[in-house]
């Protein structure tokens, strides 16, 4: 199957939101509180977008394209390793389009963009129960940092008093 990877555009915002919601459902994560308007603003309408998104698209019968996956990422500074890192928050390919190299191509698109921006590494998190994803990343050279660093990931939401 032919596909290509391209940056998401403002007109893709609703599709990006749908992909995020599909991934959350797959991971059994509660629905996100983000709105289409805030996603559009934060990814496409501000001077410094909060994150970036690459889309995997396949040709549609009408000559257009259909989005079948995405990678959402940010460039961060890792204070532990003192490196710039392309951090992938999401990588998702719709089930009917898996096992065709699309997930790897999305990951590579983030790595390539990170290299252009001076990043020394790419980082991502995988849910421990998702053995297929863990195996996929390991097969392509990702190292599990859990044993080395023993990090616990915590989240503080602003609706809870500190």
Round to whole Å and give the CA distance between 78 and 109: 20
Say what the pLDDT of residue 161 is.
58
Mean pLDDT (the chain) is 90
Q: Looking at 73-77, 92-96, 99-103, 139-143, which range is the least confident one?
A: 139-143
Per-residue b/e over 107-117, b at no fewer than 16 CB within 10 Å?
bbbbbebbeee
- pLDDT in the model for residue 160: 57
For the annotated catalytic residues, the residue numbers are 137
The torsion region of residue 35 among left (phi > 0), alpha (psi -120 to 50) and beta comes to beta
**Domain 4-149 in this protein, CATH class:** alpha beta
Specify the pLDDT at position 119.
94
The whole-model pTM stands at 0.88
- pLDDT reported for residue 159: 67
Token representation of residue 95:
């089930």
Angle at 94 between CA 1 and CA 73, to 5 degrees: 105
The pLDDT of residue 151 is 73
**Cβ pair 75, 119 in contact under 8 A:** yes
Domain boundaries, the chain: 4-149
User: Given this model, what pLDDT does residue 98 score?
Assistant: 94
Of 106 and 146, the structure prediction assigns the larger pLDDT to: 106
Mean pLDDT score, 134-157: 81
């Amino acid at each position: 199957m032919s596909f290509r990877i391209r940056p998401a555009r403002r007109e893709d915002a609703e599709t990006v939101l749908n992909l995020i919601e599909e991934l959350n459902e797959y991971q059994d994560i509660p629905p996100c509180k983000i709105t289409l308007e805030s996603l559009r603003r934060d990814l496409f309408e501000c001077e410094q977008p909060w994150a970036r998104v690459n889309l995997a698209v396949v040709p549609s019968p009408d000559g257009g394209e259909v989005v079948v996956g995405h990678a959402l990422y940010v460039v961060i500074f890792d204070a532990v390793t003192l490196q710039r890192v392309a951090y992938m928050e999401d990588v998702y390919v719709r089930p009917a389009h898996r096992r065709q190299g699309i997930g790897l191509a999305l990951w590579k698109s983030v790595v390539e963009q990170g290299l252009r921006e001076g990043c020394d590494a790419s980082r991502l998190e995988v849910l421990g129960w998702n053995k297929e994803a863990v195996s996929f990343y390991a097969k392509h050279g990702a190292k599990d940092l859990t044993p080395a660093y023993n990090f616990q990931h915590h989240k503080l939401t602003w609706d809870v008093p500190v």
